[in-house]
Chains A and B, each alone.
Chain A
Amino acid sequence: MNVAGSTSVSFSSAGIALDPEGRVAVLVLEQQQTQEDAAREDKALARQRFVEASNQEVESMRDKAGDIWKGAFVQGAATLTASTIQVRDALTPGRDLMEEAKAAAASSAAPLLGKFFGDVPAAEEDANAKHASALAEQARWQLDDANQVIDKAETAQDKTLDWASSVNANQASAETGIIAGFA
């Protein structure tokens, strides 16, 4: 359960009979609650962005792994083809220039194919992963900012509560004094 997403409390001054000080306290509380609600929405959005960016980063890393494997496989296949042609040429009596040319071509093309199918897309996925990591970090900062706004709103609510309590205490003291005077 994510308590941060719990529903907020709303006070209606019409439902509770309040004197002016009480109504002011309710107004302040509602205003702080509105700010807190907005900050919670921002926090939820930032959390969602963090999750998406993290998933994107993980996905890019997995794609990079696949590209490295694919490039190595292609390069290895080309080298193996060149080796097979060379062995066949060595076992065959006489010199076959065409076979030598094929082997040389396959051998030369192997590293190029490895780079084309492996290194280049892997580097691109690496860049995507780094970009996603930066986005995740940014979302985390937004989460921290939203938490700070929520903390400030709740601190203001606490102060309002303390103020309302002190007003209530003063009223009680005043009533006691009046009664003592009559007595």
Chain B
Amino acid sequence: MNAAQATSAFAPSSVAPLRMAGTPELRMLVLMVQNQLVQGEAAKTDIALSEDQLKDLREQVRAALEQAREAEEESGFFAGIGDALGGDLATLAQVVAVAAAAIVTCGAAAAVLATIAIACTLASKYGEELGIPPNVAMGLGIAAAVSMVAAGNVGGAAGAVGTASSGSTVAASAGAAAGSVAPGVAVGTAVSSGGLAATATAASKVTWLTEVAGDVGFVANIVAPSASGAGAGARVAGAYYHSEAIEHDADAKQAQSRETLENLDIDAALELFERAVDRQLSVASQTHQTMESNQQSKLLIIQGVA
């Protein structure tokens, strides 16, 4: 639509100045027609401009929503990494570190109990994902704590409190905090079951196991906090992208508000234009009738005189 073109025969530039003869009512109608013509032309221009702006705003909304979606995808990706590093890996490394500390302190028998404790802790922590009922998960946590206590390591019990807290196993922490059993049960069993040779073999195995557990514990004590720190960094990155997504949502909201205003302007301009056209047609019709009546009157007068 070219708003600059005058599409009506009664365009403002083509209407004669107000020196036409006629009744006062007729002159008033002409005034109103001129007013409607001006408003109609302005409405057409307004509609054309609003349409262009509306197209731009819709494109802005679409682009902003697309950017928000992409930012949320990035946020989810980094949040997943954060959960994997700071949650799963850090928890596993903590549990391994605690178990290794128990083995270092108490020997071979503690290794078996520590393995049981690891399995029970992990099962309790991931009970929901594995589909384990809550009561069973709580029971596994208690079993983990009992295993830790039976391994005889006070430090292991304290570590189980921290691991259970991070893994949300309240029962395990309560069991671990209850106390610890004296160490050395495993070595005493080996001595009583065989002779001196069996005792020496068992002692060498315990020494080897203790050294390995020490190394594993050292590595785990570094991996656990490192994974936790890396997970925190990944979560920060995820939060950054999440905030970017909200910023893009705000941009979309702003464009939508302007779009609403433009729609209101277009509606108002359309109503104005429609009304202007209706009035023009109405007044044109009435003017024609009035002029016809005047002509008839004049004809009758002439006929009368004749």
Q: Give bound CA distance, A56 to B235, whole Å.
A: 29
Q: For residue B245, which residue of chain A has the nearest CB?
A: A65
B218 touches A151 (CB 8 A): no
Known: A22-B28, A61-B253, A168-B286. A143 touches B264 (CB 8 A): yes
Q: Give bound CA distance, A173 to B231, whole Å.
A: 93
A66 touches B272 (CB 8 A): no
Q: Give bound CA distance, A65 to B246, whole Å.
A: 6
B232 touches A75 (CB 8 A): yes
B28 touches A11 (CB 8 A): yes
B268 touches A3 (CB 8 A): yes
Set of chain B residues within 8 Å of A183, measured between Cβ atoms:
300-301, 303-304
Q: Give bound CA distance, A2 to B49, whole Å.
A: 10
Q: Give bound CA distance, A64 to B32, whole Å.
A: 53
Contact of B225 among A64, A65, A66, A87 (CB under 8 A): A87
Indicate the member of A83, A143, A167, A171 with the most B CB atoms within 10 Å.
Answer: A83
B233 touches A4 (CB 8 A): no
Set of chain B residues within 8 Å of A175, measured between Cβ atoms:
293, 297
Contact of A16 among B24, B45, B246, B303 (CB under 8 A): B24
B contacts with A, residue count (CB < 8 A): 69
Which stretch of B143-151, B199-207, B254-262 is in the interface?
B254-262
Q: A9-B31, A69-B239, A168-B286 provided; 17 other pairs, C-beta below 8 A?
A: A1-B42, A3-B39, A3-B46, A17-B24, A50-B261, A55-B257, A72-B236, A76-B239, A79-B231, A82-B228, A103-B225, A107-B228, A154-B275, A158-B282, A168-B25, A168-B29, A179-B300
Chain A residues engaging chain B, CB cutoff 8 angstroms = 1-4, 6, 9, 11, 16-19, 22, 25-26, 47, 50-51, 54-55, 57-58, 61-62, 64-66, 68-69, 71-73, 75-76, 79-80, 82-87, 90-91, 103-104, 107, 110, 118, 136, 140, 143, 147, 151, 154, 158, 161-162, 164-165, 167-169, 171-173, 175-176, 179-180, 182-183
Chain B residues engaging chain A, CB cutoff 8 angstroms = 23-29, 31-32, 35, 39, 42-43, 45-46, 49, 86, 162, 218, 221-222, 224-226, 228-229, 231-233, 235-236, 238-240, 242-244, 246-247, 249-250, 253-254, 257, 260-261, 264-265, 267-269, 271-272, 275, 278-279, 282-283, 286, 289-290, 293-294, 296-297, 300-301, 303-304
